[in-house]
Structure 1
Amino acid sequence: MATVEECRAALDKLVEQFHGISQEDRAKHVVERRLACHISDIGVTFFGRLHRGGLDPFKEVPPEDGRPAEVKLTLKSEDLISMVNGELDMARALFGGRVKIDASLGDLLRLRKLL
């Protein structure tokens, strides 16, 4: 089991990686969405925002507007770190039950093109 700090570092790395996606691809596949990433084994949820300009840093505090996240991920800390480091494929993790995503079908299809 990873620590909260290790999960936060992995999410920071994910934000950096997302900024490496071309603006053209982001313009084609990204719409503004609020994100929640629940780390089930340590009981922490991180909140972020995806938009055409990039991916905002994740925080442990829900957004002030009180609106729920449109995309919710649930996974274990070690799986988060493995996915961000490229050691665990998101599709395999999803189909293997290691990651749960609660999002609309349209959002899932758009995210698939970015991951």
Structure 2
Amino acid sequence: MASVDECRQALRDLAARLDANADKVRERIDLDRTLACRITDLDTAFHGRLAGGRLVDLTDGDDPKAKIALSTTGDDLLALVRGELDVTRAVASRRVSIKANPFDLMKLRKLL
């Protein structure tokens, strides 16, 4: 089972990867939204903001008002970030839940 520290590091790794590709992504995706990532099996959460193709202001704790909310287990979060779990299949199988408006979901899909 993944730990809170491993989940935090996975999100930092994702942020670094998005940062490295931000110039390419920014031209295709106009998305500036708050984001909450809830880790269900660890009863913890992280939040930040997607802006300009980057994941910024990442910190511990939930944001109940986040425009995009992702809920999953720690192991599935690690698998998603490592590329071992396809986000579309994970959502279809209910291993991952993403709550956002439909237009944001389409933009988010391009980002991931």
User: SS at the partner of 1:23?
Assistant: helix
Instruction: List 4+ stretches of structure 1 deviating above 4 A.
Output: none
Give the whole-Å Cα distance in 2 for the aligned partners of 1:79 and 1:58: 19
Query: Letter of the aligned partner of 1:20 in structure 2?
Result: A
**Deviation digits for residues 72-91 of structure 1, max 9, x if unmatched?**
00000000000101111111
Task: Indicate the structure with greater strand content.
Answer: 2
1:77 alignment counterpart: 74
User: SS at the partner of 1:59?
Assistant: strand
**Deviation digits for residues 45-67 of structure 1, max 9, x if unmatched?**
1001111162114211457xxx7
Write the mapping of 1:54-93 to structure 2, written as runs, cut at 5 A. Answer: 54-61=54-61, 68-93=65-90
1:18 alignment counterpart: 18
Which structure 2 segments of 5+ residues have no match?
Answer: none
1:7 alignment counterpart: 7
User: SS at the partner of 2:59?
Assistant: coil
Query: Taking structure 1 as the reference length, what is the TM-score of the superposition?
Result: 0.89
2:40 alignment counterpart: 40
**Deviation digits for residues 12-34 of structure 1, max 9, x if unmatched?**
00001111224142232132100
Which structure 1 segments of 5+ residues have no match?
Answer: none
The CA RMSD measured in Å over matched residues stands at 1.6
